[in-house]
Amino acid sequence: MALTQSIKKTLDNLTTAMHNTGILCAVMLDTKGPEIRTGFLKEGKPIEVIQGQEITISVDYTIEGDSDIISVSYEKLAGVLKPGDVLLCSDGAISLTVLSCDKDLGLVRCRCDNSGVLGERENVSLPGIVVDLPTLTEKDKEDILKWGVPNKINIIALSSRRGSDPDEVRKVLGLRRNSMLVMPKIENEEGYANVDEILKKSDGLVVVRGGLGMEMSTEKIDRAQRRMIRKAMKHAKPIVTAIQMPQTTLESMSLTTPPPPTDEDDVTNVTNAEALASNPDPLEEELTKAFRKLTDCVMLSGVTADVGADPETTVQTMSRICKEAENSIDYKAVHKRMKIYYDTVPKGLPPFESMAASLVGSTILWAEAKAVVVVTHCGNKAELVAKYRPSVPILAVLDLSFHDSLARIASRGLLYRGIIPVVGAGGFYTVHDKALFGIQFAKKEGIVKPGDLVLALLMSGGSAPITKPLMPLPPRASVFLSPSLLFSSLSRSSSRVCVEREGPSTPSSPATTVPLHVLEQLHHAGDAIDHVRDPPLHRPIPDSPTPFQFYTVSLR
């Protein structure tokens, strides 16, 4: 009860902080899930196991263990194991090799592969073994329905092994199934083997490197992580990487005095989060690796929740490392690998996705844009842009007419790499008003500055075209259709487009703020352009069968 009240107080503090700062934040409920744990020990004292010694494991959970016998909570243990299989206890600190199994008596005889200390109720992992455990425990269901739903939690994370697991969570939610995102955690080999089916049924994935590390080598984890990120990107779903940190590093963050240095562990001098900021090697390596593999989010729950002495400094350190890692990414190389570089778009894409790929791979680079504004009803359009990993921020301006789902859409956007949800206070009745609001927000937050070029990607919301005049616009703003999107849209529609720019060109006042090579591309478009003239036009966009219109807004 006290823990629940403490968590509720933390959530209330977060809500207050969001109101005070205007910064949106998504909240995840990480369910505990079914577990296999060791049992209680005589007098509650930890036992020491010696490498080479033999020990018996019983499925009778009432047994109080000692150095000869311990119990586990999985009743089918003796039936699923065979000689040669391995059990890992206490986060992999103790390894046991199976010698024999007695299914009738529920006993497993093992040999200790290493020495260590085993406490009560330590977790147990069975690498490569398919276990028959429920998706959710009764405690998980209670947490979701009696705490998550009333407190309007945005995301539910669950340990997942099978493709049907996300459906089990939605059954529990019932009519509220669309109010929360369901994100399975892939933290064992069984879940990784079924990741395709799991991803199809989920709203995203969480890659738990620590859990996978108990069943896979580091090299295999890295390959698995890259593969899962690619799969999530293919489906335009967010993927979170839960960073694996050495236990010695996590423990050292809670200390107030330096432990004595050892040759075995070069990070024991990290005594707390402030020390971590000055010596971030273990954290920096994992975060940089995740970012360069193009993950959407990173998570470091151990430091901020369990043993972290200064979570605020830790988060600031994580943010700094992530920004440095992102700045080091060669996006041209990334887009070449994705086959969207320099107006090359994969065949067979839906029209809007083709345009989004062209925007990311060509137009942003050509126009030297600093941000992209996407006006969206349900967030899908901004998510398709994020799928192709643009090198600039995506401001997703949400439609306020969808009040009931606004929080869900905004929280989902926070999970995607590069997306910044922008929610107005009302009074924006056209997509143009919303686009300009997004641009002003970008200026206010320092994302762009006067003189930067911003790309705006708009949709009318149906088959009807946008008929609102493009002018008047803010003073000294120019509007033009970028070439790659122009060619992409013309290939699917016979519509004609308007191109607007500023007043007469003079030596001290150029005719346009866009790079010369982009302007030349526009002129080469020939009769596809209705007008390129001075002064700016004051008329609607011509009727068009396509619901999409694209333009850029340059601020001075």
CATH number of the domain at 207, please: 3.20.20.60
pLDDT tens digits for 110-160? 999 999 999 999 989 999 898 989 999 999 999 999 999 999 899 999 999
Tell whether 340 and 212 lie within a shared domain.
Answer: no
- CATH number for 434: 3.40.1380.20
- 328 CB-near residues (< 8 Å, 6+ apart): 288, 292
pLDDT tens digits for 152-203? 899 999 999 999 999 999 999 998 888 899 999 999 999 999 999 999 999 9
Which string of b and e fits 310-331 if b means at least 16 CB within 10 Å? beebbeebbeebbeebbeeeeb
Give CA–CA dist 353/252, Å, rounded.
47
Tell whether 117 and 240 lie within a shared domain.
Answer: no
Peptide bond into 450 cis (omega under 30): no
Residue type, 382: A
Tell whether 414 and 384 lie within a shared domain.
Answer: yes
Q: Which of 288, 355, 297, 361 is nearest to 331 (CA)?
A: 361
Tell whether 184 and 308 lie within a shared domain.
Answer: yes
Give CA–CA dist 299/26, Å, rounded.
13
**Mean pLDDT of the residues in the chain:** 75
Q: Which of 406, 423, 457 is the last residue of a domain?
A: 457
102 membership: H or E segment, kind and range: strand 94-102
User: What SS3 state is found at 440?
Assistant: helix
Listed in order, strand segments (DSSP E) in 113-150 are: 116-118, 124-125
pLDDT tens digits for 348-365? 888 888 888 888 888 888
Which pTM value belongs to this model?
0.75
How buried is residue 448: exposed, middle or buried, by Cβ count under 10 Å (0-12/13-18/19+)?
buried
Tell whether 229 and 362 lie within a shared domain.
Answer: no
pLDDT at 36: 93
- CATH number for 62: 2.40.33.10
**Is residue 553 one of the residues assigned to a domain?**
no
**Is residue 9 one of the residues assigned to a domain?**
no
Place of tokens 């590069």: 418
Alpha helices in 180-262 (DSSP H): 189-193, 195-201, 209-213, 218-234, 247-252
The number of beta carbons lying within 10 Å of the beta carbon of residue 527 is 6
pLDDT at 401: 58
**Is residue 275 one of the residues assigned to a domain?**
no
Q: Which two tokens stand for residue 514?
A: 């866009």
Give CA–CA dist 494/19, Å, rounded.
47
User: What crossing angle do the helices spanning 351-358 and 380-387 adopt, rounded to 10°?
Assistant: 50
Give CA–CA dist 157/168, Å, rounded.
12
Range of the domain at 366: 331-457
pLDDT at 237: 95
Which of 51-60, 105-114, 259-268, 287-296 bottoms out in mean pLDDT, i.e. has the lowest?
259-268
Which string of b and e fits 101-138 if b means at least 16 CB within 10 Å? beeeebbbbbebbeebebebebebbbbebeeeeebbee
Residue 287 has pLDDT above 90, yes or no: no
Listed in order, strand segments (DSSP E) in 429-486 are: 453-459, 478-480
Alpha helices in 96-217 (DSSP H): 138-143, 165-173, 189-193, 195-201, 209-213
Peptide bond into 472 cis (omega under 30): yes
Count of domains for the chain: 3
**Is residue 77 one of the residues assigned to a domain?**
yes
Tell whether 248 and 157 lie within a shared domain.
Answer: yes
What is the layout of strands, in order, in the sheet containing 69-71?
69-71, 54-58, 107-112, 94-102, 86-89, 124-125
Tell whether 169 and 118 lie within a shared domain.
Answer: no
User: What SS3 state is found at 143?
Assistant: helix
Tell whether 137 and 172 lie within a shared domain.
Answer: yes
Give CA–CA dist 540/496, Å, rounded.
12
Tell whether 138 and 120 lie within a shared domain.
Answer: no
Name which residue leads in pLDDT, 511 or 232: 232
- Could you tell me which residues are beta bridge partners of residue 254? 272
Residue type, 271: T
List Cα–Cα distances, 515 to 282, 438, 480, 483, in angstroms: 42, 23, 12, 12
Residue 530 has pLDDT above 50, yes or no: no
**Is residue 116 one of the residues assigned to a domain?**
yes
**Is residue 361 one of the residues assigned to a domain?**
yes
pLDDT at 479: 34
Tell whether 439 and 293 lie within a shared domain.
Answer: no
Q: Give Cα 366 distance to the centre of its chain.
A: 28
- Under the banding of pLDDT at 50, 70 and 90, the label for residue 477 is very low
pLDDT at 111: 97
**Is residue 217 one of the residues assigned to a domain?**
yes
Name which residue leads in pLDDT, 485 or 24: 24
Residue 524 has pLDDT above 70, yes or no: no
Give CA–CA dist 257/281, Å, rounded.
20
Give CA–CA dist 94/339, Å, rounded.
46
- 125 CB-near residues (< 8 Å, 6+ apart): 36, 87, 88, 89, 92, 188, 211, 214, 215
pLDDT tens digits for 389-445? 999 999 998 866 555 567 778 888 999 999 999 886 555 667 777 888 888 888 888
Place of tokens 């902080």: 17
Summarize the confidence of residues 1-20 as an average pLDDT: 82
**Is residue 186 one of the residues assigned to a domain?**
yes
CA angle 249, 255, 259 (to 5 degrees): 75
How many residues does this entry show for the chain? 556
Q: Which of 125, 144, 159 is the last residue of a domain?
A: 125
Give CA–CA dist 257/279, Å, rounded.
16
Give CA–CA dist 203/226, Å, rounded.
18
Tell whether 385 and 400 lie within a shared domain.
Answer: yes
Tell whether 167 and 154 lie within a shared domain.
Answer: yes
